[in-house]
Amino acid sequence: MSFFSEERQSELKELFFESASELLQTLNEEGLKLERSPGDRELVRQVRRTIHTLKGDSAACGFQDVSSLAHELEDALTPEIAAGSKGKLAEIVLSAADTFAAMLAAHRGTGIAPLPAPLRERIRELVARPEPKHIVPYKLTGRFAWTEYEQIAIGQALGQGKNVYNLALAVDHACPMKAAAMQLVKNVLGQFGDVLAVFPDSSVLPEQIDVMEFAVASLQSIDTFEKKCRIPSVISDVIAEAVNAGASEHAQPAAAVVADHDSSKALETLEVNSEATPDESATASQVPDITKLRVDADRIDAVLNLVGELVIGKSMLMQSMNEFEKRFRKDPLRVKFADAMAFQARVLNDLQKSVMKIRMVPVEQLFRRLPRLVRDVAKACGKDVVLQVAGEETDLDKSILDMLTEPLSHLVRNSVDHGIEPSPQRLAAGKPAQGTVRLNAYHQGNQIIIECSDDGAGIDRYKLVSKAVEKGLLTHSEAEHLSDSDASHLIFHPGLSTAEHITEISGRGVGMDVVQSVIERLKGTISIDSKPGMGTTFLLKVPLTLAIIKALMFRVADRLYAIPLASVIEIARASAADVHRVDQHEVMQLRDQVLPLVRMGQLAHSGPVGLNNKIFVIIVAIGDRKFGLIVDRLVGEEELVIKALDDDLTSTDLVSGASILGDGSVVLILNLSVVVSKFGKIPAYAEAVTA
């Protein structure tokens, strides 16, 4: 019976799913460590604590299938079993992380429930004990190491003043019906006390049972059990030992937690693990972590949106102040208004930065998901690859980080599958047998740079261009004049892949297309630097936030547009006579380089500029390439609050958003990479000046 409203239950489940996601990520990381150090006892205990927390939280939320599977895995996580697992335990832990993730996705309604039976079989094979020919004292086999829930029951019985006994019963080898023997012993024990724990459970086949173990709470003496359990032709030997109160004192704090079935407390209680030392437990219980507060991202977005409205309001006030100064130049209130506006602007800027920092999270949250991906892909490809990470503390907007998950996963997967060579090939080329994939993140102005590099074979330009010609994406003439940079960017074309065979990992030509589309949607850029035989580096540049940007505004045919200021390198003045046409495309010589031009008048379908007219050229960087945008008039810099446009209002991908200025006018924010990609391929006006 639940004492919470449906809304409260929903909130608790969302909290559980969020915390469970962190637990599964931790489980993946611990599984990878366990693979490298299978005999590390402390590491096994860490994994067990993670599983135990997941088990308790899932049970509190009513997800019994998850809790039951976690309970079985917890039984297998002992240093003794880990030592004899020969590396199997790490594989099971990683498989369990995947299975738990799929089960939770099914409970959340975003996936299909998996069949945990194969994982259960692997766990049971791992914990299966060798069949003994005669009974062995439990201290040598570790058999009476009951699970924490069973220890809790033992602790509660001791607290009630009862005697608790551990019993080991050897089944007679001549016993014809071992299943009946198990039930017969349970009936006998039930007459004299309460059975608290049993081994083995019902999952073990009866004919495999040679030893049965029980924990029993009773007011009878230990002699009673030793006598009553010796059943002729059924039980050949009995070992009984009393459990003292001190042995189960550590179970008491956990008992208090489990006894409280309040879902909210089960999720919010600071858990003290039974394996922690007394000092650790005391410290943990006395110093709860109350400095962090979980807040729904939608609430932060709402506050950020209100700050954006305040920024628009500030622009309106500044506009009004400028008009006031023009009309009343000598009015003494002008200075007071200016001081008040300056104070408000300073406070608003601080508020804006504070709210933005709330949304910022370290990129480590993104990077930590990738070691498991590298390990799985390398194993599937039969390669030896290590992932090196730097810059994990670099902060990034949470919404951007979430969107970068998929493209970065594609890049890392491609680096392992396509970039890194097999070990024999690397050794033949004088490289280390183990390949390396590196991730790095750092700030650069108002952008964040993420580098994904490998020390593999690099991009085969000839193979890539040949594939593009084969698919009709290029003519032979175009392929001959293609620069190395443009050739490398062919990998982003949908359907283009250089893989010899289509596999589950790659070969369909869709991964890199996804990378480019996501980066463009983020108003970012991606560039490639590849050296044959030495490796490839992908450079992703994305803005720190998508909410508020500094922009350069300009007019084309009396229409107002804006582009991110971070993409602008410089602004040049030129005359129409400086514009030349090469291969039907307009270019301009800027110092020692030839700059491709994009005439922004094509946005408004305006004609070419006269020969004697002066023009403005905005030089922008798109990845590792530069372009010049020809505009009619510059307006200036402005801090803009981006408002997303409904699909019903615009059917073009040239515009990524809009903003409202202080005077109420609307400015369209251009998606620079799409504008350059589209209009940069259109032949120049026939009237343009030729070289």
Which CATH number is 235's domain given?
Answer: 3.30.70.1110
What's the whole-number average pLDDT of the chain?
Answer: 76
Mean pLDDT, residues 58-86: 78
Residue 403 forms part of a structural domain = yes
Residue whose C-alpha is closest to residue 574's, from 619, 636, 632, 616? 616
- The whole-number pLDDT of residue 135 equals 43
Sign of torsion over alpha carbons 253, 34, 377, 487:
positive
The residue among 66, 99, 128 that closes a domain is 128
Q: Name the residue with tokens 């996580």.
A: 77
- The whole-number pLDDT of residue 275 equals 39
- The whole-number pLDDT of residue 689 equals 34
Mean pLDDT, residues 40-48: 85
Q: What is the length of the chain? A: 691
CA distance 541 to 523: 9
Say if strands 211-218 and 194-199 run parallel, antiparallel, or are unpaired.
Answer: antiparallel
Same-domain status, 390 and 523: yes
**pLDDT, tens digit (0-9, with 9 covering 90-100), for 595-619:** 888 888 776 665 554 444 778 899 9
CA distance 588 to 292: 55
Residue 457 forms part of a structural domain = yes
Asked if the model's pLDDT at residue 300 lies above 50, the reply is: yes
Q: How big is the CA angle at 52 (ends 48 and 58), to the nearest 5 degrees?
A: 145
Residue 523 forms part of a structural domain = yes
14-23, 32-41, 263-272, range with the lowest pLDDT: 263-272
Question: Which has more pLDDT, 214 or 261?
Answer: 214
Same-domain status, 114 and 201: no
Mean pLDDT, residues 363-385: 90
- The whole-number pLDDT of residue 502 equals 53
**Percent of residues in the chain assigned helix, strand, coil, to nearest 5:** 45, 20, 30
Same-domain status, 563 and 670: yes
Mean pLDDT, residues 453-469: 86
CA distance 676 to 312: 29
Residue 20 forms part of a structural domain = yes
CA distance 527 to 455: 17
Same-domain status, 535 and 553: no
Mean pLDDT, residues 307-329: 82
Between the alpha carbon of residue 285 and those of residues 28, 262, 280, 288, 292, the distances in Å are: 27, 19, 9, 6, 16
Mean pLDDT, residues 150-179: 79
Same-domain status, 520 and 554: no
Range of the domain at 58: 6-128
Asked if the model's pLDDT at residue 554 lies above 50, the reply is: yes
Mean pLDDT, residues 146-153: 70
Asked if the model's pLDDT at residue 581 lies above 70, the reply is: yes
Whether omega before 200 lies within 30 degrees of 0, making that bond cis, reads yes
Same-domain status, 342 and 380: no
Mean pLDDT, residues 503-510: 52
CA distance 355 to 349: 10
DSSP letter (8 states) at residue 17: H
Mean pLDDT, residues 11-22: 82
Asked if the model's pLDDT at residue 184 lies above 70, the reply is: yes
CA distance 624 to 268: 49
Q: Which tokens go with 419?
A: 């970039």
Q: Name the residue with tokens 């993670």.
A: 50
Asked if the model's pLDDT at residue 433 lies above 50, the reply is: yes
pLDDT band at residue 248 using 50, 70 and 90 as cut-offs: very low
Mean pLDDT, residues 169-193: 80
Residue 354 forms part of a structural domain = yes
Asked if the model's pLDDT at residue 411 lies above 80, the reply is: yes
pLDDT band at residue 500 using 50, 70 and 90 as cut-offs: low
Tell me the range of 176-190, 268-282, 342-356, 364-378 where mean pLDDT is highest: 364-378
Percent of the chain with pLDDT over 70: 76
pTM of the model: 0.60
- The whole-number pLDDT of residue 481 equals 73
Say if strands 625-631 and 593-599 run parallel, antiparallel, or are unpaired.
Answer: parallel
Same-domain status, 151 and 118: no
Same-domain status, 114 and 142: no
Question: Which has more pLDDT, 484 or 604?
Answer: 484
- The whole-number pLDDT of residue 530 equals 87
pLDDT band at residue 494 using 50, 70 and 90 as cut-offs: confident
- Domain at 70, CATH number: 1.20.120.160
CA distance 19 to 30: 16
Same-domain status, 44 and 143: no
pLDDT band at residue 251 using 50, 70 and 90 as cut-offs: very low
Number of domains making up the chain = 5
CA distance 407 to 580: 38
Q: Which tokens go with 685?
A: 């006006």
The residue among 523, 543, 563 that closes a domain is 543
- Domain at 610, CATH number: 2.40.50.180
Same-domain status, 328 and 377: no
Asked if the model's pLDDT at residue 591 lies above 50, the reply is: yes
**pLDDT, tens digit (0-9, with 9 covering 90-100), for 128-144:** 544 433 444 443 344 56
Asked if the model's pLDDT at residue 205 lies above 70, the reply is: no
Asked if the model's pLDDT at residue 8 lies above 70, the reply is: no
Residue whose C-alpha is closest to residue 527's, from 510, 536, 518, 535? 536
Mean pLDDT, residues 559-574: 88
Q: Name the residue with tokens 């909210």.
A: 264
Buried b (16+ CB within 10 A) or exposed e, 657-687: bbbbbbeeeebbbbbbbbbbbbbbeeebbee
The residue among 191, 220, 249 that closes a domain is 249
Residue 270 forms part of a structural domain = no
- Domain at 499, CATH number: 3.30.565.10
**pLDDT, tens digit (0-9, with 9 covering 90-100), for 632-661:** 889 988 878 777 666 555 556 788 788 887
Asked if the model's pLDDT at residue 109 lies above 90, the reply is: no
Same-domain status, 454 and 465: yes
pLDDT band at residue 290 using 50, 70 and 90 as cut-offs: very low
Asked if the model's pLDDT at residue 403 lies above 80, the reply is: yes
- The whole-number pLDDT of residue 7 equals 67
Same-domain status, 67 and 116: yes
- The whole-number pLDDT of residue 113 equals 61
Mean pLDDT, residues 187-195: 86
- The whole-number pLDDT of residue 552 equals 92
Residue 260 forms part of a structural domain = no
87-91, 226-230, 284-288, 346-350, range with the lowest pLDDT: 284-288
- The whole-number pLDDT of residue 134 equals 41
Residue 598 forms part of a structural domain = yes
